[in-house]
Chains A and B, each alone.
Chain A
Amino acid sequence: MNTEILGVIATYGLTLLLAWPLARYIVKVFRGDKVWSDFLLPIEKLFYKISGINPKEEMDWKQHMKALLTINLVWFVYAFFALLFQDKLPLNPDGNPGQSPDLAFNSAISFLVNCNLQHYSGETGVTYFTQLFVLAFLQFVSAATGIAALIVVFKAFKDKTVTQLGNFWEIFLKTITRILLPLSIVIAVILIFNGSPASFAGKDTIVTLQGDTVNVSRGPAAGFIAIKHLGTNGGGWFGANSAHPFENPNYIGFITEMVAQVVIPIAMVFALGMFIQRRKFATVIFAIMTIGMICLLIPTMQAEMAGNPALSHMGIQQLTGSMEGKEVRFGPAGTGYWSTVTTIISTGSICGFHDSMMPMTGLMQLLGMMLNCLYGGCGVGILNYYIYIIIAVFISGLMVGRTPEFMGHKLEAREVKIAALITLLSPFLILAGTALAAYVLVHHPDASWAVKPGAWLNNPGYHGFSEMLYEVTSANANNGSGYEGLGDNNVFWNVSTGFVLILGRYLPIIGPVAIAGLMAKKKYIPESAGTLRTDSVTFGVMTFAVIVILNALSYFPALALGPIAEYFSLYR
């Protein structure tokens, strides 16, 4: 068998093997069982003491959300000003300038919401100080925010009738000290021993074998790369992200980073079943998510390995598939797998440039981000899937003529309204945002921004439209990958995607937590013969159908103008 495909299968298999024990560990941590990492308890206690937090104080869902939003606001203010004045702060060996206000706004928000759009380039747009103390910091805490919100929902599912759902600070801090930090250290050490730099040395100057003088950017990148994947953040240390040979040095680095980015999202699905003791319910969800991923993965790998038809037409060989914007050490199969995983979960790191991939691949990437629930980002993936479950329960209830119930609680108008609003939010943001960008491009091509709208696009025609659609979709999904040809460092894109990022992050967290919190307060109804079973294969298929139909209806016209039209013009 082809060694590239074998590499992909082995990487996925290894992920599953590691996700299971990780899930058991996560459940033990949040149930409060004894675990090996309890030796960290004194440090956590010290943190509570300094911060004036009582970790035993129980909170209801509203208090959880208030704490979550408050600390997020603090991070935003801190990040914005640090990026703005980074040229005056220490640890800037390469002498990089401060960010413009609109860029600092965009960068702060996009790292705050676990997106990492990065309208700057890592080598020149940030300093070691902001990379470490602002961006890497936000990569940890934004992932922990998502996981903490999910754990609150787990707690709401678990008990029959409950209002008190644990302490936000405790769940949040434990996510960092017990899960993200130890795993990051392991991943970073593997990368260091495969060639990723980790010292604080600045640029080096060398004379190459052929006699050219070249500057080489370096820096303490390994730790950043570890949390960028474990936290499904995706923002790279270097401009070329995980395609950069320092950021992703070889195939072992590839496997390590691939496992790191999807292991927590998968483990959280397993953990759901263990935590609420409904294994079958979680198994069905896992199966549906996996089937969804495979539906996106196969066309992607097929298209990339077959190569670019326009190059075949020129009469050269494409034995290794389409190679524009790809690295030899990963090959098109591995790069295709990466591009699927990074778009279904909200990482958005890349090991090959999406802008240069085949139109079929682009379609799959866009779909992955539009669904945003196949495994999904740290914590938020299951929250997004949960909304689809609510819609599916509601529709099934209508179909069989029974009051819809979920986890032993009645699902009523209020909850369904919230779910419907969250479902409509994504198409609204994506389609309206893209339409606005296209309008500005056509009617105001000479607006005097840092990049004129007329010069935004790096490619003409349908693909140019896809560049704008991709940018807004990525912002809404908090993904962070991009069609990087788009000239996005200007006031229009920085501000517009900034607002899309905020709405696309916080409403889809608050909505599901509110639904779960509201339902958990209601009277518990024991299961009877008349209960719609949500852990059956039938219900799994029903949820899958809801996901497909909702998204097809929302996005088909936009996709037809972009990747689908490009496909038919390239393969004519």
Chain B
Amino acid sequence: MKKYLLPSIKLTIVLVVLLGGIYPLLLAGIAKMAPGEGDGVTVTHNGKVVGYEQIGQKFTEDKYFWSRPSAVDYNAAGSGGSNKAPGNEDYLKIVQERIDTFLAHNPEVKKSEIPAELVTASASGLDPHLSPAAAYIQVARVAKARSISPEKIKQLVSDNTQPPVLGMLGTPTVNVLKLNVALDELK
């Protein structure tokens, strides 16, 4: 044991410097060339930073497209899901409340048309996306709140839909923050 102790300690020290120090510094240097310079990519509106492209934020007003429910209330200094089991009675009550709230704000929508993602909490609590279906279902409400024709808003959703990778891998997504910024810039 003794024979191995000193080499172990010395090797540990040099590796801590290499892996804990040099490696992340090198990456931080490379990141200077990347979008956002390694600080995260921001979204601006009227010259002001209104958020990060990747980090979802809370939208509850009728004139904006709503983002998904969040177990951490979109606190981006924390993150996490509800960790509720699929059959948990308390959890199912919460979902029922979300369905009722959604129907109250969207009288044009039938219950059978509500996509599950609009009444279930995301994993990170910071999900920045909706599926196209979950965006289109809100068009009527947003159009009414803003007195803009639904066609124009539908077009906006379509313009903000990111297709799957190469058109065939993964899911299509709509970035809610970018879509809402585009809405505010419509006039």
Interchain CB contact under 8 A, A484 and B58: no
Tell which of B26, B91, B122 touches A327, judged by Cβ atoms closer than 8 Å. Answer: B122
Interchain CB contact under 8 A, A245 and B126: yes
Interchain CB contact under 8 A, B164 and A244: no
| Chain B interface bracket (under 10, 10 to 19, 20 to 34, 35 or more) | 35 or more
Extra A-B contacts (18), CB below 8 Å, given A198-B31, A311-B86, A325-B123: A3-B164, A6-B169, A52-B6, A140-B15, A207-B50, A210-B57, A214-B77, A217-B77, A217-B79, A255-B169, A311-B119, A315-B111, A319-B131, A321-B116, A324-B82, A326-B122, A355-B83, A485-B85
In the complex, which residues of chain B have a beta carbon less than 8 angstroms from the beta carbon of A327?
A: 122-124, 127, 129
For residue A75, CB closer than 8 A to chain B, the reply is yes
Q: Which of B1-41 contact A (CB under 8 A)?
A: 1, 4-12, 14-16, 18-21, 23-24, 26-28, 30-31, 34-41
Q: Which of A180-188, A377-385, A448-456 contacts B (4 or more CB under 8 A)?
A: A180-188
Interchain CB contact under 8 A, A238 and B116: no
Report the separation of the CA atoms of residues A86 and B31 in the bound assembly, to the nearest whole angstrom. 26
Interchain CB contact under 8 A, A47 and B11: yes
Q: B49 to chain A: closest CB distance in Å?
A: 6
For residue A222, CB closer than 8 A to chain B, the reply is yes
Interchain CB contact under 8 A, A240 and B114: no
For residue A209, CB closer than 8 A to chain B, the reply is yes
A sample of 13 inter-chain contacts (CB < 8 A) reads: A137-B16, A181-B23, A192-B38, A198-B24, A214-B75, A216-B52, A217-B77, A240-B123, A244-B124, A251-B171, A255-B169, A324-B91, A329-B170
Q: B42 to chain A: closest CB distance in Å?
A: 8
Closest to B40 in A: A197
In the complex, which residues of chain A have a beta carbon less than 8 angstroms from the beta carbon of B54?
A: 195, 245-246, 249
In the complex, which residues of chain B have a beta carbon less than 8 angstroms from the beta carbon of A308?
A: 86, 116
Report the separation of the CA atoms of residues A552 and B122 in the bound assembly, to the nearest whole angstrom. 34
For residue A290, CB closer than 8 A to chain B, the reply is no
Most buried by B among A220, A324, A326, A334: A324
> A449-488: contact bitstring with B at CB < 8 Å (1 yes, 0 no)?
0000000001111010000000000000000000111000
In the complex, which residues of chain B have a beta carbon less than 8 angstroms from the beta carbon of A193?
A: 34-35
Interchain CB contact under 8 A, B20 and A134: yes
Interchain CB contact under 8 A, B39 and A199: yes
In the complex, which residues of chain B have a beta carbon less than 8 angstroms from the beta carbon of A356?
A: 81-86
Closest to B52 in A: A216
Asked if A216 meets B23 with Cβ closer than 8 Å, knowing A74-B5, A325-B83, the reply is no
For residue A316, CB closer than 8 A to chain B, the reply is yes
Tell which of A50, A214, A254, A328 touches B127, judged by Cβ atoms closer than 8 Å. Answer: A328
Q: A12 to chain B: closest CB distance in Å?
A: 12
Asked if A71 meets B87 with Cβ closer than 8 Å, knowing A195-B41, A251-B171, A328-B129, the reply is no
For residue B148, CB closer than 8 A to chain A, the reply is no
| Chain A interface bracket (under 10, 10 to 19, 20 to 34, 35 or more) | 35 or more
Q: Which of A17-25, A155-163, A346-354 contacts B (4 or more CB under 8 A)?
A: A346-354
Report the separation of the CA atoms of residues A201 and B24 in the bound assembly, to the nearest whole angstrom. 13
Asked if A316 meets B165 with Cβ closer than 8 Å, knowing A66-B4, A210-B57, the reply is no
Asked if A325 meets B169 with Cβ closer than 8 Å, knowing A66-B4, A192-B38, A206-B49, the reply is no
In the complex, which residues of chain B have a beta carbon less than 8 angstroms from the beta carbon of A137?
A: 15-16, 19-20
Q: A189 to chain B: closest CB distance in Å?
A: 6
Interchain CB contact under 8 A, A70 and B8: yes
Q: B115 to chain A: closest CB distance in Å?
A: 5
For residue B120, CB closer than 8 A to chain A, the reply is yes
Interchain CB contact under 8 A, B87 and A353: no
Report the separation of the CA atoms of residues A393 and B21 in the bound assembly, to the nearest whole angstrom. 47
Report the separation of the CA atoms of residues A67 and B4 in the bound assembly, to the nearest whole angstrom. 6
For residue B142, CB closer than 8 A to chain A, the reply is no
Interchain CB contact under 8 A, B86 and A324: yes
Asked if A245 meets B4 with Cβ closer than 8 Å, knowing A71-B11, A485-B83, the reply is no
For residue B156, CB closer than 8 A to chain A, the reply is no
Interchain CB contact under 8 A, A209 and B180: yes
In the complex, which residues of chain A have a beta carbon less than 8 angstroms from the beta carbon of B39?
A: 197, 199, 201, 204, 218
In the complex, which residues of chain A have a beta carbon less than 8 angstroms from the beta carbon of B60?
A: 210
Tell which of A136, A251, A314 touches B24, judged by Cβ atoms closer than 8 Å. Answer: A136
In the complex, which residues of chain B have a beta carbon less than 8 angstroms from the beta carbon of A255?
A: 165, 169
For residue A528, CB closer than 8 A to chain B, the reply is no
Tell which of B7, B27, B53, B126 touches A53, judged by Cβ atoms closer than 8 Å. Answer: B7
In the complex, which residues of chain B have a beta carbon less than 8 angstroms from the beta carbon of A316?
A: 99, 111-112, 114-116, 119
